[in-house]
Amino acid sequence: MAFRKFDTLCWEDPWFEALSRDAKLLFIYLWTNNTCNPAGMYRITKDRIQFNCGVSIEKHAEELKPKVLWNPKESIVWVKNFFRHQRQNPRFSEAAVKSISQLPCTLKAAFYEYNREILDTDQIPPLPPLTDTDTEAEEDISSTVVEPNTNPHSNGNGIKLEKKLYMESVKLTDDEHGKLIQKYGEPLTSKAIEILNNAIQSKGYKYKSHYHTLIGWPMKEAKEQCGGSKWFK
């Protein structure tokens, strides 16, 4: 039997207060069920969730973002701040890393990057090269924006658009950069670019599209670094 910390101050958290009754129950279940591993990123079927707590994760997945992310294709849930609030010593960090060893590479990368201030660099195993399957899994669990199915390198007339370099490693077209500024504002865009750049520089991560990566986990982390709930931050 595993024992989990669950701070009663969560009931005073504005994000948690705003959840529907069923979403609150679902969040608590995803935090406390026996399938949850030390990382808070684990496989669990929607049917098992429905059977145990009587709530559909598909119905409430959007409501729980960005604190809980759901990948329906892989049946993977990530309770993003679980690890931060459970960790008490380096051994727990080692257990968390081990518990996600069989998950897609880019999901592990997202976990490592999100918790990079806590995890010691020595505990992060080398990442194998990304595959198309890994990239799809990463986008399923981290992206909150659905983009039209267009070629990001083309202007629609078959002409390849030039990409500019931001910081050392992030490449975007003027149109992609403009979309980010328009949707998120300049400060958040710059912060997200910095986060992605640091991940690429320090860990050697590779992505097919920096634009589509930026609107996923780097933008979410930028938002949390720029403000948010103390308990869930």
Let me know if residue 48 belongs to a domain: yes
Let me know if residue 230 belongs to a domain: no
**Domain residue limits at 194:** 143-148+160-225
Residues 22 and 98 in one domain: yes
Let me know if residue 4 belongs to a domain: no
Q: For the stretch 26-45, what's the b/e string if a residue is b when 16 or more beta carbons lie within 10 angstroms of its beta carbon?
A: bbebbbebeebbbbbbbebe
Q: Which residue has the higher pLDDT, 216 or 97?
A: 97
pLDDT band at 122 (very low <50, low <70, confident <90, very high): very low
The stretch 70-88 carries a mean pLDDT of 92
pLDDT score recorded for residue 141: 57
Nearest alpha carbon to residue 99 among 88, 112, 89, 118: 112
| 14-73 tens-digit pLDDT | 999 999 999 999 999 999 999 999 999 999 999 999 999 999 999 999 999 999 999 999
Let me know if residue 70 belongs to a domain: yes
SS3 per residue for the chain: CCCCCCCHHHHHCHHHHCCCHHHHHHHHHHHHCCCCCCCCEEECCHHHHHHHHCCCHHHHHHHHCCCEEEECCCCEEEECCHHHHHCCCHHHHHHHHHHCCCCCHHHHHHHHHHCCCCCCHHHCCCCCCCCHHHHHHHHHHHCCCCCCCCCCCECCCCCECCEEEECCCEEEEHHHHHHHHHHHCHHHHHHHHHHHHHHHHHHCCCCCCHHHHHCCHHHHHHHHHCCCCCCCC
Average pLDDT, the chain: 80
Residues 23 and 98 in one domain: yes
pLDDT band at 229 (very low <50, low <70, confident <90, very high): very low
Domain end, chosen from 103, 135, 168, is at 103
Let me know if residue 207 belongs to a domain: yes
Let me know if residue 69 belongs to a domain: yes
Let me know if residue 215 belongs to a domain: yes
Total of domains in the chain: 2
Residue 203 predicted with pLDDT over 60: yes
Let me know if residue 80 belongs to a domain: yes
Q: pTM, whole model, 2 decimals?
A: 0.57
